[in-house]
Chains A and B, each alone.
Chain A
């Protein structure tokens, strides 16, 4: 049976761990080396949709980090079924960047399923975004996860949760 295919975009400020989150989800791998993404990286992963058993192929667009998008980046997002917003728990400003991007994207393309990942959970001694601050923005997203691409904590949960939201939004609701 042909799988359902969805385009998912991963966005957030630079060096928050977007590529690492995708690498952990797609290949269950993590690299300590930081390598800046230029343009967009595309990966795919097929999963089984929770509950329905539907084969769901996610085409993941890992967009270069930025705190504000221009025409080039918006072109990448066109046709996306859902968004993964990623912030860095050790850099409070990245949560603000995610908020900017979410507002820009919603303004341009309208509402879409989304999850917020506050990443680098493993760096407990450097973690400096309070629970109150995270709770304050979490209402704008369908779900919130404190993740670690290094350990894998909650990465798969977050992406499969988004996949489920997309199925609900694009197919069941349709």
Chain B
């Protein structure tokens, strides 16, 4: 059944208005015979009969005009989009062009979205592939690193075992050398030259032994063979011991040596005493060894479960570059002239780390060096009463707030020990002497910040010593601490005068007043 005529007319009118058909007839040589319809929209204007239509309409090139066919969406160089219908008729051919720009635009927009999504998907796929590759490479690299690490650990363990074995092999003959040298030295018939040679042999052997000990310690730490033995012990006692060991070494070099223990430091702590002692001896030994002028100071504080022991010196300091190296085994930074195996700080660091602590270093060339050890330690407070020291700790307000040294001259060892106890714990560096003439020499040489002088001492005596010091230009305080009764004239030689037994708190207060 055919559509009603008005509907057909309407559809025909709509189709023609939307597609704007342009039709032309060509012969078998593509030459124009006749054309119909609007041609302004498709760029084929001004056509003359007999023109080769492949020139204005190049899409005809290669097209077989003897077969019925159609082509969708041809975009011409004039940027019109056409659907082309090829309709052969009796050796000639009708070519019909329909405007397809609306359908083309709609399809182009959809296809554009689809293609962009596909491109994005492709890029994503590529990224995922790359991620997989990187993960594979990472796994492979980790595996290689693990392999290298295991190799390195095996080599390191072998090295440590070798060093430990060699160190043991060295120690036995060294012990023999030292013992036989001692025996030989005790031989009364030995000449002076022989004695000197024996002393040199002994000294060298002891030096070699200490180096072997250091190497053995380092190897043991390297091999993980060092185990902490923790117990309750008196930290004050340990610090006093270490100070007593180091102070004479400092004094030999004319250095002041001060110990300052904060009152908050518990009397008894729970830690490995032997290893902590080793750490302190290493640090103080280094400080004394490398300091040529000035002094060494040991300060202990305790806060929130952490014991901080700081060793500072007025030595040559360490450059930033060397600071990274000095904790490495066999490194001495720029101090290539120093003796020793170069293991002291390495061992110190490893021991502190074994004790779950940290070591920090603060230094600048020419401005001394401060090494701090931070240790988490438990305070064994319950034992405090049992182990409380006989002598009380100086109060906070008498503690020195800057590096100062004091020369103490007294021939009574007990008095020296007592004064040393208080002055060390108040943070002063000490130079001691039991002879007033020697005290004059040491004062003029080391220029202490205060002289504490007994009057009845060997040599020229305290009063004369004070007078000589003033005559020779020593202008700092000289305090008399004596059991003798002094005349006013004698008292005038001193900045201040104390009669023994002086209250220590009062003495410390006066010393701080005079030196700060």
The residues of A with any CB-CB pair to B shorter than 8 Å are 5-7, 14-15, 34-44, 59, 64-65, 72, 75-76, 78-81, 91, 93
Contact = CB atoms under 8 A, between A and B. Distances in A.
Given A40-B71, A65-B115, 20 more contacts: A5-B54, A15-B115, A15-B119, A36-B111, A36-B112, A38-B107, A38-B108, A39-B72, A40-B74, A40-B75, A41-B75, A42-B77, A43-B77, A59-B58, A72-B72, A75-B71, A78-B62, A78-B63, A78-B64, A79-B63
Contacts of B81: 39
A39 B75 contact: yes
B116 interface: yes
B73 A38 contact: yes
B76 interface: yes
Nearest to A75: B71
Interface in B429-471: none
B391 interface: no
Q: From B69, B73, B81, name the one whose CB has the most chain A CB atoms within 10 angstroms.
A: B73
A43 B111 CA distance: 22
18 contacts: A5-B54, A6-B61, A14-B118, A34-B115, A34-B116, A36-B108, A38-B73, A38-B107, A38-B108, A38-B111, A39-B74, A39-B75, A59-B61, A59-B62, A72-B72, A78-B62, A79-B61, A80-B62
Interface residues of B, number: 27
B63 to A, nearest CB: 6
B59 interface: yes
A147 B76 CA distance: 26
Contacts of B108: 35-36, 38
Contacts of B107: 38
A74 to B, nearest CB: 11
B122 interface: yes
A42 B58 contact: yes
Contacts of A39: 72-75, 81, 104
A64 B61 CA distance: 19
A34 B120 CA distance: 13
A26 to B, nearest CB: 9
Contact of A38 (B54, B104, B116, B122): B104
Contacts of A91: 122
Given A38-B108, A75-B69, A44 B58 contact: yes
Contacts of A65: 115
Contacts of A34: 115-116, 119
Nearest to B58: A59
Nearest to B116: A34
Nearest to A38: B108
B62 A81 contact: yes
Contacts of B59: 42, 59
Contacts of A6: 61
Interface in B90-121: 104, 107-108, 111-112, 115-116, 118-119
Contacts of B75: 37, 39-42
A15 B69 CA distance: 29
A5 B104 CA distance: 28
A14 B115 contact: yes
The 7 lowest CB-CB distance pairs between A and B, nearest first, are A39-B73, A79-B62, A7-B62, A41-B75, A36-B112, A59-B61, A59-B58
Nearest to B119: A15
